């Protein structure tokens, strides 16, 4: 009789081999073949950025394929030199001692003592150092598998076959401009999978959105057919703990289906879609309204009625905006609402809204928060507000029948802008917006969008 321990995915057979469950090696071999890899030529995957989702993504690849060392190498890059503060080090020590598997792993690796010393204040821990042991600063309570960490960006990316962008949108352009210097001698471009959710607004020559995949394309010259976006209704820590989740990988035909198959795991279902830019923008849009949801929850003591009223208004605004951005917006309704729902339930943007409403954070503290990372919804509020304020995008107001900028029909977005960006009102303003007698019925806003030719292809850089 074989024990459960002996039959685990990482157990070793009597012949020294490792069992390949669910066709793992076959999936890897298929991708290697498509990439033109010969025997003995290792497939190199590197994650750029070590936030929650970026770290979990690299850990998923390491967990699934890391035992096939002669065929694949998974690494992650993060900047060196960020120290872990004393309080975090102490909490990390508590997490380690509460998890027997993690404790044993660190003892075997002779790494446990450094956490003892850090707790006592006799040693400084660094973010890249603890990441090697599987601890992401944005998810201390969710230990990952040990990761191969590189702090030299050139070393990390110069020969990578697949680069995973785990950076916030606000950092993507700068880092990939540096990366482009290291790819000048490459004969073939890499594949890039972007996990980043966020947008920038550009007003010239016409108002339009710039997404992380477009930033990468412009910074590096890698063709768009080699750049994909992966997103979906999921929470990073839950995915790593093997709770059921799904995602969509969006991009050109050449790579999205093979990559969807390669990334798919029993608990992590990956679908594929050709509409890259629109899905990427929708991933940023839901973060805008998640911040407001957190505010409403905190200000009303988790009132179910108040939260549902807010949800009705914010979803109607998202549907309205979707009709401006997409020629066939109905195809986005399911993914957008699902992603919004999970973000409102347990996302960092909703948490941020709660902390603002409780007075534990202030907008002037910035949008990079210790233990959470970048709050992408803040910059997205500014970008969407700026774009939808442009008079050249005007739509007819339902009452006055006069042309108005689209933002005038998005009172929640306007209120969030006044709270987070111009900072002219307090978080209480979000409740006042819901109680405003002049606010249109959410149904009216949806009917307006559906009954007019609202689609503005220029917003996503599409030809008219």
CATH code of domain 277-460 = 1.10.1040.10
Among 131-145, 202-216, 389-403, the range scoring the smallest mean pLDDT is 389-403
Active site residue 286: yes
Same fold, 22-81+148-274 and 277-460: no
Which of 341, 231, 356 lies closest to 291 in space, CA to CA?
Answer: 356
- pLDDT class of 3 with cuts at 50, 70, 90: very low
User: 93, 274 in Cβ contact below 8 A?
Assistant: no
What residue spans define the domains of the chain?
22-81+148-274, 86-125, 277-460
Confidence band for 463, pLDDT divided at 50, 70 and 90: low
pLDDT of residue 107: 96
Active-site position among 71, 286, 372, 414: 286
Homologous superfamily, domain 22-81+148-274: NAD(P)-binding Rossmann-like Domain (3.40.50.720)
pTM metric for this prediction: 0.90
Question: Confidence class of residue 452 from pLDDT cuts 50, 70 and 90?
Answer: low
């Amino acid at each position: 009789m074989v024990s459960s321990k002996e039959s685990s995915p990482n157990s070793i057979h009597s012949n020294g081999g490792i069992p390949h469950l669910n066709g793992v090696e076959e999936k890897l071999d298929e991708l290697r073949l498509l990439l033109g890899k010969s025997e003995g030529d290792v497939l190199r995957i590197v994650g750029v950025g070590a936030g929650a989702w970026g770290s979990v993504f690299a850990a998923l690849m390491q967990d699934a394929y890391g035992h096939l060392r002669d065929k694949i190498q998974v690494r992650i890059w993060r900047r060196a030199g960020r120290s872990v503060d004393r309080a975090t080090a102490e909490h990390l020590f508590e997490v380690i001692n509460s998890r027997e598997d993690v404790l044993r792993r660190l003892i075997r690796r002779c790494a446990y003592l450094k956490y003892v010393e850090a707790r006592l204040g006799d040693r400084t821990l660094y973010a890249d150092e603890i990441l090697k042991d599987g601890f992401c600063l944005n998810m201390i309570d969710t230990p990952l598998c040990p990761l191969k960490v590189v702090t030299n960006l050139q070393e990390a990316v110069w020969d990578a076959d697949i680069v995973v962008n785990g950076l916030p949108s606000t950092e993507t352009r700068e880092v990939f401009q540096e990366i482009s210097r290291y790819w000048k001698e490459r004969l073939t471009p890499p594949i890039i999978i972007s996990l980043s959710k966020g947008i920038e607004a550009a007003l010239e020559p016409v108002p339009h959105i710039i997404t992380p995949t477009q930033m990468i394309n412009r910074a590096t010259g890698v063709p768009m057919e080699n750049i994909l976006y992966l997103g979906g209704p999921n929470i990073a820590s839950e995915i790593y703990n093997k709770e059921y989740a799904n995602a969509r990988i969006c991009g050109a035909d050449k790579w999205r289906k093979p990559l969807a198959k390669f990334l798919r795991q029993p608990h992590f279902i990956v679908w594929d879609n050709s509409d890259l830019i629109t899905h990427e923008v929708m991933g940023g849009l839901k973060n805008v309204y998640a911040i407001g949801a957190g505010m409403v929850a905190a200000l009303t003591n988790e009132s179910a009625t108040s939260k549902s009223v807010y949800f009705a208004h914010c979803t109607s605004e998202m549907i309205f905006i979707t009709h401006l951005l997409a020629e066939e917006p109905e195809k986005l309704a399911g993914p957008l609402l699902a992603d919004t729902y999970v973000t409102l339930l347990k996302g960092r943007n909703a948490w941020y809204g709660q902390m603002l409403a409780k007075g534990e954070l202030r907008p002037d503290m910035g949008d990079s928060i210790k233990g959470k990372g970048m709050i992408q919804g803040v910059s997205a509020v500014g970008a969407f507000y700026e774009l939808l304020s442009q008079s050249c995008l005007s739509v007819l107001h339902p009452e006055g029948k006069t042309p108005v900028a689209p933002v005038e029909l998005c009172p929640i977005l306007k209120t969030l802008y006044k709270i987070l960006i111009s900072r002219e009102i307090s978080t209480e303003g979000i409740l006042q917006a819901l109680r405003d007698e002049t606010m249109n019925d959410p149904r009216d806003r949806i009917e307006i969008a559906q009954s007019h030719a609202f689609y503005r292809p220029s917003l996503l850089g599409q030809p008219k």
